[in-house]
Structure 1
Amino acid sequence: MKMTKYTHSCVRFEKEGSVLVLDPGNFSEVEEALRDADAILLTHEHADHIDREQVLPILAERRDLQLYAPAALAASLRNEAADDAQDRIHDVDPNTVQQIAGFSVRSFGGQHALIHPLIPMVENLAYLIEDRIYHPGDSFTVPSGLKAEVLLVPIHAPWSKVGEVIDFVIAVGAQTAHPIHDALLNGKGRGIVEKHLERFGEMYGTSYQPLAPGDVVDL
């Protein structure tokens, strides 16, 4: 299986001719990520994870493309989508396992990490892809019994601090960690965060491996 990282939290998985794309948001290269994609999988409703202005027209044009999202988000997208695209937008329930475009997807229910008490909370689903790769969306949720070989770790966000990122990497205990949710960092700030993750990851058995937009990893 091949994984391509795009800017921020968007990643593309390719396996045996099938393509699954997670969180094509407005910081990401949406058209490139969705090229020949079979399915889109969303963690939550924020624009940096779903660029409605780009994704919905692509969904309307590509009649073989499916979209999966938490129930409230899926309902909202169906209200905005073209009539012939609405039946290709599907609810994902928390704590379920399903096949999406040939990929095994286990969902873990929860909510978005707290940004501020005055900012409403929204639903956030984390996903374990192929029983190996964990994408938490915008949360530091560590589900009971989670066994992940690869962690996609949000390395910077308005809702986090570096110590929490380090603790999340330690708690998941994956063999390898790659960055997501990184578009708000400049080069110097990113270097500080990643040095911490490399050092503490090594101490606790996780190899943190940086990726830039467009980088491809064989998993």
Structure 2
Amino acid sequence: MKLTKFTHSCVRLEKDGAVLVIDPGTFSESEGETGTETALAGAHALLITHQHADHFDEEKVVAALQLDQSLLVYAPAKVAGMLAERLDADGLDRVHTAEPEQRYSVAGFEVQTFSGQHALIHPHIPMVANIGYLIDGSLYHPGDSFIVPHGVDVSTVLVPVHAPWSKTAEVIDFVTSVRAARAFQIHDALLNETGVQLVEGHVARIGGLYGTEFRHLALGESVTI
């Protein structure tokens, strides 16, 4: 499976001619090789972890659904409802509500769901649903949460390295709890280069003590996992 890193929490997965995109958000550039359009080009299915705009670019997702009449979307109920208001009857059949503790076969990928709730930002900020996705039993995208998937051995974990809802200690604890062989960063758009290097240095050093090899992926960089 080929994984390509796009802006913030967006990744594109390719396997046997099938393309799955997770969390195409509004932080992505609108044009160019690392833009949302590039991430979505030729996609067969989209997985959305939650409704926040940095993970779900409503306008671009709707445009992609209207352009490709075979494109599928799996997302929490709020996101599915937002899309339902924008699509015709044919489009509705391609939007599926994702719930925790479920399994799907999506465009040739096996998907398992975890969590159900976004991490707390502040008591005055309403909580929203969040779904973590495990792809083919090996790659875990947690969205905006540090929920550790249970009952599985994760080979590759995508790590939210910085967010309004987290601190570095929690990032490290997440990595050492999952204990995947490999880790790559997501949720990194709010940090400058100095901040990224600082946080990732701690994650790589301490994660390594627990058997996790952390590697930074540049925008548009691809790896085989």
Selected match of 2:198 from 192, 195, 201: 192
Q: Please give the alpha-carbon distance, in whole angstroms, between the structure 1 residues aligned to 2:149 and 2:36.
A: 29
Aligned CA RMSD, in angstroms, stands at 1.0
Taking only the aligned residue pairs, the percentage that are identical comes to 54
Is 2:135 the partner of 1:132? no
Contact 1:12 / 1:20 at 8 angstroms: preserved in 2? yes
Q: Please give the alpha-carbon distance, in whole angstroms, between the structure 2 residues aligned to 1:41 and 1:154.
A: 17
1:64 matched residue in structure 2: 70
TM norm structure 2: 0.94
* Superposition pairs of residues 4-43 of structure 1, within 5 angstroms: 4-28=4-28, 29-43=35-49
Q: Find runs of 4+ consecutive structure 1 residues off by over 2 angstroms.
A: 80-84, 143-146
The secondary structure found in structure 2 opposite 1:160 is: coil
Q: Please give the alpha-carbon distance, in whole angstroms, between the structure 2 residues aligned to 1:148 and 1:40.
A: 21
1:143 matched residue in structure 2: 149
TM norm structure 1: 0.97
1:30-67 deviation per Cα after TM superposition (whole angstroms, max 9, x unaligned): 10001111001111000001101111012111112111
C-alpha displacement at 1:71, in angstroms? 2.2
C-alpha displacement at 1:83, in angstroms? 4.3
2:165 matched residue in structure 1: 159
2:174 matched residue in structure 1: 168
Contact 1:95 / 1:106 at 8 angstroms: preserved in 2? yes
Contact 2:157 / 2:183 at 8 angstroms: preserved in 1? yes
C-alpha displacement at 1:73, in angstroms? 1.9
1:121 matched residue in structure 2: 127
Q: Please give the alpha-carbon distance, in whole angstroms, between the structure 2 residues aligned to 1:82 and 1:212.
A: 38
* Superposition pairs of residues 178-189 of structure 1, within 5 angstroms: 178-189=184-195
Contact 2:115 / 2:147 at 8 angstroms: preserved in 1? no
The secondary structure found in structure 2 opposite 1:25 is: coil
Q: Please give the alpha-carbon distance, in whole angstroms, between the structure 2 residues aligned to 1:86 and 1:185.
A: 37
Q: Please give the alpha-carbon distance, in whole angstroms, between the structure 2 residues aligned to 1:178 and 1:98.
A: 24
Selected match of 2:216 from 206, 210, 217: 210
The secondary structure found in structure 2 opposite 1:80 is: coil
Q: Please give the alpha-carbon distance, in whole angstroms, between the structure 2 residues aligned to 1:111 and 1:135.
A: 14
* Superposition pairs of residues 81-92 of structure 1, within 5 angstroms: 81-92=87-98
Q: Please give the alpha-carbon distance, in whole angstroms, between the structure 1 residues aligned to 2:143 and 2:85.
A: 23
Q: Return the letter of the residue paired with 1:188.
A: T
Q: Please, which runs of 5 or more residues in structure 1 have no aligned partner?
A: none
